[in-house]
Chains A and B, each alone.
Chain A
Amino acid sequence: MSTYLAKRGGVMIPTIIGIVTVVFLMVRALPGDPVVFLLGDEGAVGAEALEIMREQLGLTDSIPVQYVRYVAKTLTFDLGNSLLSGVPVVELLKNAIPITLAVAAASVVFSVLVAVPLGALAAYWRTQGKDSLDQGLTWFAIIADALPGFWIALVMLLVFSLHLGWFPVSGTIEWTDPWQVFTRLALPVVVLGIAQLASIARVTRTAVLDALQDDYVRTARSLGTPELTILFRHALRNSMLPVITVLGLSFGRLLGGTIITENVFSLPGMGTLLVQGISGRDYTVAQGVVLVYAFLFISVNLITDVLYTRIDPRVKLEA
C-alpha cells in the first residue's frame, strides 16, 4: 500500500506541472489588461504610469520568462501576491480553502447520508414487489437534474434567508462558533447536496438491487440474518464500489458547483476568490485558486482508489 502511494505520488508531479502550465496559459489568455484594471485606462493615468506598474509586476518580461519564474516559485509554495491588493495569494487561500472544503465535504456527507439509504431502501422494496419509492426517486432524479443549481440556490436564499430570515445572508465565518458556521453553511451545503442526491441514489439503487439477487444474500437470509442487516451490511457493502466511483467522478462537478454557490451565498471561499481574481484580471490569485482546485481533484482520485481496497478485499492496487 505505501509503495503504491509513493508511486502514485510520483505520478502526480508531472500531472501537477502540466496543470500549472495550463493554468498559466489560461489566465494569460483572458482578455483585458490587469494594469488598466488596477490604475484606470491610459487616458486617465498616462501611459508612463501603466508602464511602471507593468514593470513592477514583472509583466514586461516575455511569456516564457514569466512562465519559468512562475513555475519555480510555485514549486516552493510561493504563489506571489495579489495584483490588486498586494496580499500574498497563499494568505488569501489559507482563509478560503477551509470554507470551500467544509462546504464540499459537508455536501458530500449530506448527500450520501440521504441518498444511500434512500437508494438502498428503494432497491430492497423493489425486490419485495413494492416500487413506489423507486418510482419516486426516478421522478426526483428527473426534476433535480433539470433544475440548474444556481436557480435552486437563489430560491433557497429568497425563501429561507430573505423571507423567513432563518439563515444570515452574509458575514464572515467564525470557526470558533459552531452555530454560526452551521447557519452560514447549511443552505449552500443543501444546495450542493441536492445536485448530487439524484445520481448517488440512482447508482446505489441499481447496485443494491443487483447485490440483493446475489447468492450470499440468500445464504445470509437462510441463517436467520435480519433483513436490515442483510440490506445494509451485506448488500450495501457490496454496492459501495460504484457509489464511490460516482462520488469521485462527480467531484469535479461539485467543485464547479461550489464556485456558483459560494458567490450566491457570499461565502468567502475559493469560488468567490476565483471570480474576483478573474473579473479583476488578478492573474496571481486566479492562478493560485485554480491550482488548488486541480490539486484537490487529483487527491480525491487517489482517495477513491484507496477506498476501493478498504471496501472490497479483492481489489489490489497496482501502480
Chain B
Amino acid sequence: MLATKFRSRNGPPNASSLNHGNMAHLMQSEKNTLLSVRDLSVEFHTARGVVKAVNSVSLDIKAGERLAIVGESGSGKSIMSMSLLQLVQYPGRITSGSAMLEGTDLLALKGKKLRAVRGSKVTMIFQDPMTSLNPVLRVSEQLIAPMRRHLHLGQREAKERGLKLLAQVGIPDAEGNFNNYPHELSGGMRQRVLIAMAMACSPRLLIADEPTTALDVTIQAQIIELLAKVSKEEGSSVLFVTHDMGLVARFADRVAVMYGGRIIESGPTDQMFENPHHPYTRGLLESIPSITGERPERLSQIEGTPPDLAFLPKGCSFADRCPLSDEVCIETQPASLTVASDHTAACHHSDVVASLGERRLFDAEN
C-alpha cells in the first residue's frame, strides 16, 4: 500500500525508538484533553490590508501528547503557536477564539496572570537558537531567571537546578558553560540551553516552533531526540511546528496540517500517513524525499504558491493548486468534517482523495 510506503521511506532505521509505537506512552492519560483551542483567529492590520494569518483554528492536545503542525512556510504556523502565549506583537491581534488549558483561557489572561503562565505552565522554543539568547547576558543569568521567577528559588537553589538541567539536556562541562556567554556556544548547544530554559519549570505544554530548522542535519536528530526525552520525563505535551514530514512521522502522535491560516486536516499520525483525506496533505506526502539513501522513485510537486493571506479567496484556499478543484471548491469554503474517528478534513472531495490508493494525485517532477 502507498501509505506504508510513505511511512517506511521517511523514517531512518531507528525512527520507531522515538515514536514509541502508537502512542504507547499515552496509555494513562489518553483521555485527558490538556489544551483546547477553539475558533482562534489572528489578524495583522497593515498598509496592504488585513492579513488573516490565522483563520478560525480549532485543535486539541491531550496530556502527554505530541501534536505536529505542518504546512508550507507562510501558512500561519508560527503566528498560531505564538498566539497561544499572546506573543504576537502589534500590528498582530487575536480577533477571536479561546485556548482552554486546565480551566483557564490562555487568550483571556492579562498582566501578572499571563506572565505566570508564560515560562511555567506553557513554554516555547523558537526556530533560531543563534539569536534566541540574549548576547550580553551569561547563560547562567538567562537560565536562572525563569526558575527564580516561577519556582521562587533562591540564587543557590536555582543555580543547582540550572546545572542539573544543563547536564540533563546533554551539555558537556555544564559547570563551565554555565558561566559562558551565548556566543561561546554552538547553535546546537544554544538550542539545548533554550530547551533547558523551557523545561526548567516542568511545563504542561511545550511549544516548539521549528526547533531544528536552523541546525545541521546531524544535530537535528539529536535535538529531536532530546525533545522527545525531556517531554516524556516531565510528562509535557508538545506542540511541534515543522514543515518536515519526515520529522512528523518520527515524532508526532497526531498531525494537523495548516494551509492559508486554517487547519485543513488533522488526525493520528498513522492515519494521516496511511489515509490522507485532503489533497494538500496528500501532496505533502507525495513530495517527501527519501532519507534512507535509496534513490527516490519519483517525487511529486505541488505547483503554484500559497494564498495571499491579505486576499483569501471566497472558496477553498487550495482550489487554485488542486487537481480536483471544481465550481463548488471555488464558490464555497469546505467545512471541516470528521472522516474517521479522531480524523477531520476540510475538502469537498475528501472521498476521492481517500480512494486514490497507489495512484498519484500530483504530477511528478523530473
Chain A residues with CB under 8 Å of chain B are 127-129, 214-216, 218-226, 234, 237-238, 311-314
Contact of A222 among B119, B133, B136 (CB under 8 A): B119
Closest to A211 in B: B134
B74-130: which residues lie under 8 A (CB-CB) from chain A? 82, 85, 87, 89-91, 115-120, 123-124, 126, 128
Q: Do B132 and A219 have beta carbons less than 8 Å apart?
A: yes
27 cross-chain CB contacts under 8 A:
A129-B91, A214-B131, A215-B128, A216-B133, A218-B82, A218-B126, A219-B126, A219-B132, A219-B194, A220-B134, A221-B118, A222-B123, A223-B118, A223-B119, A223-B123, A223-B145, A223-B146, A224-B117, A224-B119, A224-B120, A224-B149, A224-B150, A237-B137, A238-B134, A238-B135, A311-B136, A312-B135
How far is B134's CA from A129's CA once the two chains are assembled, in angstroms? 24
Q: Do A224 and B115 have beta carbons less than 8 Å apart?
A: yes
Residues in B whose Cβ lies below 8 Å from that of A313: 135-136, 181, 183
How far in angstroms is the closest Cβ of chain A from B177?
14
How far in angstroms is the closest Cβ of chain A from B111?
9
How far in angstroms is the closest Cβ of chain A from B144?
11
Q: Do A127 and B89 have beta carbons less than 8 Å apart?
A: yes
B9-37: which residues lie under 8 A (CB-CB) from chain A? none
Q: Is B197 an interface residue (CB 8 A)?
A: yes
Contact of B90 among A127, A225, A237 (CB under 8 A): A127
How far is B134's CA from A218's CA once the two chains are assembled, in angstroms? 10
Q: Do B145 and A215 have beta carbons less than 8 Å apart?
A: no
Residues in A whose Cβ lies below 8 Å from that of B124: 222
Residues in B whose Cβ lies below 8 Å from that of A215: 126, 128, 131-132
How far is B133's CA from A214's CA once the two chains are assembled, in angstroms? 10
Known: A218-B126, A219-B126, A314-B183. Contact between A225 and B115, CB under 8 A?
yes
How far in angstroms is the closest Cβ of chain A from B93?
9
How far is B183's CA from A314's CA once the two chains are assembled, in angstroms? 7
Closest to A222 in B: B124
A-B contact sample (17 more), CB < 8 A, given A219-B134, A223-B149, A224-B149: A127-B89, A129-B90, A129-B91, A214-B131, A216-B134, A218-B126, A220-B134, A222-B118, A222-B126, A223-B146, A223-B197, A225-B145, A226-B115, A237-B137, A238-B134, A312-B135, A314-B135
How far in angstroms is the closest Cβ of chain B from A132?
15
Q: Do B136 and A312 have beta carbons less than 8 Å apart?
A: yes
Residues in B whose Cβ lies below 8 Å from that of A226: 115
In the complex, the 9 A-B pairs of residues with the closest C-beta atoms, listed nearest first: A223-B119, A224-B119, A224-B118, A215-B131, A216-B134, A129-B90, A224-B115, A223-B146, A222-B124
Contact of B136 among A129, A219, A221, A237 (CB under 8 A): A237
Q: Do A216 and B135 have beta carbons less than 8 Å apart?
A: yes
Residues in A whose Cβ lies below 8 Å from that of B133: 216, 219
Contact of A234 among B82, B87, B89, B134 (CB under 8 A): B134
Residues in A whose Cβ lies below 8 Å from that of B117: 224
How far is B137's CA from A179's CA once the two chains are assembled, in angstroms? 40
Residues in A whose Cβ lies below 8 Å from that of B123: 222-223
How far is B198's CA from A312's CA once the two chains are assembled, in angstroms? 25
How far in angstroms is the closest Cβ of chain A from B131?
4
**Chain B interface category by residue count:** 20 to 34
Residues in A whose Cβ lies below 8 Å from that of B132: 215-216, 218-219
Residues in A whose Cβ lies below 8 Å from that of B146: 223-224
Residues in A whose Cβ lies below 8 Å from that of B87: 218, 221-222
How far is B89's CA from A221's CA once the two chains are assembled, in angstroms? 11
Q: Do B181 and A314 have beta carbons less than 8 Å apart?
A: yes
Q: Do B131 and A238 have beta carbons less than 8 Å apart?
A: no
How far in angstroms is the closest Cβ of chain B from A19?
35
Contact indicator per residue, chain B 211-224, by CB within 8 Å of chain A (1) or not (0): 00000000000000
Residues in A whose Cβ lies below 8 Å from that of B85: 222
How far is B116's CA from A219's CA once the two chains are assembled, in angstroms? 15
Q: Do B119 and A216 have beta carbons less than 8 Å apart?
A: no
How far in angstroms is the closest Cβ of chain A from B92?
10
Residues in A whose Cβ lies below 8 Å from that of B115: 224-226
Q: Do B136 and A238 have beta carbons less than 8 Å apart?
A: yes
How far in angstroms is the closest Cβ of chain A from B107?
15
Residues in B whose Cβ lies below 8 Å from that of A225: 115, 119, 145, 149
How far is B120's CA from A161's CA once the two chains are assembled, in angstroms? 58
Q: Do A128 and B136 have beta carbons less than 8 Å apart?
A: no
Residues in A whose Cβ lies below 8 Å from that of B89: 127-128
How far is B245's CA from A100's CA once the two chains are assembled, in angstroms? 69
Residues in A whose Cβ lies below 8 Å from that of B119: 222-225
Q: Interface centre among A129, A214, A221, A238, by most B CB within 10 Å?
A: A221
How far is B7's CA from A44's CA once the two chains are assembled, in angstroms? 111
How far in angstroms is the closest Cβ of chain A from B104?
15
Residues in B whose Cβ lies below 8 Å from that of A314: 135, 181, 183
Residues in B whose Cβ lies below 8 Å from that of A128: 89-90
Closest to B146 in A: A223
How far in angstroms is the closest Cβ of chain A from B278?
31
How far is B118's CA from A220's CA once the two chains are assembled, in angstroms? 10
How far in angstroms is the closest Cβ of chain A from B193?
10
How far in angstroms is the closest Cβ of chain A from B112?
9
Residues in A whose Cβ lies below 8 Å from that of B137: 234, 237
Contact indicator per residue, chain B 179-199, by CB within 8 Å of chain A (1) or not (0): 001010000000000100110
How far is B315's CA from A242's CA once the two chains are assembled, in angstroms? 51
How far in angstroms is the closest Cβ of chain A from B181?
4
Residues in B whose Cβ lies below 8 Å from that of A129: 90-91
How far in angstroms is the closest Cβ of chain B from A249?
22
Residues in B whose Cβ lies below 8 Å from that of A312: 135-136
Closest to B118 in A: A224
Residues in B whose Cβ lies below 8 Å from that of A223: 118-119, 123, 145-146, 149, 197-198
How far in angstroms is the closest Cβ of chain B from A243?
14
How far is B114's CA from A225's CA once the two chains are assembled, in angstroms? 10
Contact indicator per residue, chain B 141-180, by CB within 8 Å of chain A (1) or not (0): 0000110011000000000000000000000000000000
Residues in A whose Cβ lies below 8 Å from that of B135: 216, 238, 312-314
